[in-house]
């Protein structure tokens, strides 16, 4: 993990937040390449969940919802973690994660392991951030920052089902920020106070829910593999009864083999009719599906694949990280799927003082950037420029050299194979688009 954290920082993917003021635990900011990578992960998710299908529509609901929603959903009473305090070091820990936490006075030990540790009994602590809406403190109301995007979907079920004229099975997908007051044992952006969620609520006839649950576990596993996560690092694990969330009748986690061990990457829950029934009771409005023709009515059951965008980005970074020695020199490379990579192609003039080469390279950059994410780099030796692109995962580089000036060809260098081929400069866009559209799987790790 340290190597990925260091690369993420060095190349401006992710920085600790509020560093100027000493940092704020479990909060991170995303720099240029981090933003581009995050946008690409989000785009690939939306493509697979909405654009490539007829049965799912998109939604963007508010972050601050009516506070009664969180009472009805069970989050006010049940969205808690068991916490213990240490009376000696004054640190707070999750009671169920003591084995992964560091003692406040002796970081080589876990809380409770030294004779000085004096832990309280576990107490339930609500994870929702509370704030106030209203200009005047006395007349304002307490509201919550949403801890999941899902509730915004359930309370819009009636609107969307009517407008979309969809019959179950159909789904509503949403990507947006969520907030949780987490006490975390570190692990970079794995668990943070604010993060983006990519959630689908898929409404199905009750009798079909087990089948659709299986379907979505398989579908979501395939998505991670499609975008380059190595299959041997992924597994699906069904929750034991005592692990299930308050709303779930069955959950399977897609787990990834992180440096700290197998942990949840994405959860796929069968929420049954819990949420629609709860909101029907609390709001007095029936949330059910009614067939206008036959009059058939039922409360759909819900299958929910829910993935943290930031956790997905972390997983892609870890899985893509590789080191090797090429021509007796170390090379660090991110073997990201080309459709996730922040930059699709670099354009490099070989001799940066050669005006004709620079002009050709800039014209090529201008043409390509209308269609692709392109970075023009003219600083330093060509080898160093290639290495910089390798570190941010750029799959291809186009180099304009002396030969370009005489025959209008450029060198296309492949990040993974290091193969270089000459292609006509006029065919560069087509060559890159063809490569982008081709299926891709990660080459074996060198390091
Ligand atoms: N609506 C379902 C739900 O909220 P969850 O298992 O609590 O389920 C779903 O969260 C996913 O969101 C997780 O699998 C993980 O990818 C991501 N996630 C949850 N808490 C997170 C946090 N504090 N920081 C980053 N990602 C988080």
Instruction: For residue range 374-391, list pLDDT tens digits in order.
Output: 999 999 999 999 999 999
Neighbours of 430 (CB within 10 A): 11
CB neighbours of 382 closer than 8 A, spacing ≥ 6? 348, 350, 399
Q: Name the least confident of 183-192, 284-293, 323-332, 364-373.
A: 183-192
pLDDT in tens, 342-386: 999 999 999 989 999 999 999 999 999 999 999 999 999 999 999
CA of 307 to the centre of ligand 1 (A): 6
- Ligand 1 atom with the smallest distance to the CA of 182 is 23
List pocket residues of ligand 1, CB cut-off 6 Å. 148, 150, 180, 182, 191-192, 195, 197, 199, 264-267, 304, 306-308, 310-311
pLDDT in tens, 101-136: 888 888 889 999 999 999 999 888 899 999 999 876
Q: Is the pLDDT of residue 167 over 90?
A: no
Q: What share of the chain has pLDDT > 70, as a percent?
A: 99
pLDDT in tens, 3-23: 999 999 999 999 999 999 998
Q: Is the pLDDT of residue 445 over 90?
A: no
pLDDT in tens, 53-84: 999 999 999 999 999 999 999 999 989 888 89
- For residue 185, what pLDDT is reported? 63
**Angle, nearest 10°, between helix axes 355-368 and 428-437?**
40
CA dihedral of 335, 336, 337, 343, whole degrees rounded to 10: -120
Give the CB-side neighbour count of residue 385, counting CA atoms within 13 A. 21
As a whole number of angstroms, the distance between CA 183 and CA 120 comes to: 16
Mean pLDDT of the chain: 94
Q: Is the pLDDT of residue 48 over 70?
A: yes
CA of 338 to the centre of ligand 1 (A): 26
pLDDT in tens, 241-286: 888 777 777 889 999 999 999 999 999 999 999 999 999 999 999 9
Q: Which residue is closest in CA terms to ligand 1's atom 5?
A: 267
Q: Is the pLDDT of residue 33 over 90?
A: yes
Q: Which residue is closest in CA terms to ligand 1's atom 18?
A: 308
Q: Is the pLDDT of residue 323 over 80?
A: yes
Confidence of residue 292 (pLDDT cuts 50, 70, 90): confident
- For residue 218, what pLDDT is reported? 97
Q: What share of the chain has pLDDT > 90, as a percent?
A: 79
CA of 148 to the centre of ligand 1 (A): 8
> Which of 69, 145, 195 gets mutated to test ligand 1 (max ligand atoms within 8 A of its CB)?
195
Q: How far is CA 39 from the centre of its chain?
A: 10
- For residue 128, what pLDDT is reported? 96
The vertex-251 CA angle with 245 and 252, nearest 5°, equals 135
């Amino acid at each position: 993990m340290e190597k990925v954290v260091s690369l993420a920082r060095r190349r401006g993917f992710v920085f600790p937040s509020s560093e100027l003021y000493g940092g704020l635990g479990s909060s991170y900011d995303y720099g240029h390449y981090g933003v581009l990578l995050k946008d690409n992960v989000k785009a690939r998710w939306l493509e697979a969940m909405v654009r490539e299908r007829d049965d799912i529509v998109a939604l963007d609901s508010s972050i601050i919802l009516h506070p009664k929603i969180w009472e009805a959903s069970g989050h006010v009473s049940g969205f808690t973690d068991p916490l213990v305090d240490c009376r000696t070091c004054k640190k707070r820990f999750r009671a169920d994660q003591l084995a992964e936490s560091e003692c406040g006075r002796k970081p080589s030990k876990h809380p409770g392991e030294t004779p000085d540790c004096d832990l309280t009994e576990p107490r339930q602590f609500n994870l929702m951030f509370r704030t106030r809406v209203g200009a005047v403190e006395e007349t304002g109301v307490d509201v919550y920052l949403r801890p999941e995007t899902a509730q915004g979907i359930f309370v819009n079920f009636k609107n969307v089902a009517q407008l979309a004229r969809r019959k179950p099975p159909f789904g509503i997908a949403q990507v947006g920020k969520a907030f949780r007051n987490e006490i975390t044992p570190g692990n970079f952006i794995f668990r943070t106070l604010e993060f983006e969620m990519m959630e689908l609520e898929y409404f199905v006839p009750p009798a079909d829910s087990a089948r659709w649950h299986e379907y979505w576990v398989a579908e979501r596993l395939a998505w991670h593999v499609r975008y380059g996560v190595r299959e041997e690092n992924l597994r699906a694990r069904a929750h034991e009864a005592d692990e299930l969330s308050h709303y779930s009748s069955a959950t399977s986690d897609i787990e990834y083999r992180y440096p700290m061990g197998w942990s949840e990457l994405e959860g796929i829950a069968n929420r049954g009719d819990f949420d629609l029934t709860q909101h029907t009771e609390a709001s007095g409005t029936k949330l059910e599906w009614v067939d206008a023709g036959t009059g058939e009515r039922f409360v759909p059951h819900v299958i929910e694949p829910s993935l943290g965008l930031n956790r997905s980005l972390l997983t892609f970074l870890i899985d893509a990280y590789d080191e090797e020695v090429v021509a007796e020199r170390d090379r660090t490379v991110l073997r990201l799927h080309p459709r996730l990579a922040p930059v699709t192609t670099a354009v490099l003039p070989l001799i940066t003082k050669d005006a004709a080469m620079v002009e050709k390279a800039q014209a090529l950059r201008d043409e390509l950037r209308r269609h692709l994410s392109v970075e023009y780099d003219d600083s330093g030796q060509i080898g160093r420029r290639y290495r910089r692109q390798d570190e941010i995962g750029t799959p291809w580089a186009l180099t304009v050299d002396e030969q370009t000036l005489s025959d209008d060809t450029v060198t296309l260098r492949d990040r993974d194979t290091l193969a270089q081929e000459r292609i006509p400069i006029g065919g560069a866009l087509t060559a890159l688009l063809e490569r982008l559209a081709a299926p891709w799987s990660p080459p074996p790790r060198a390091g």
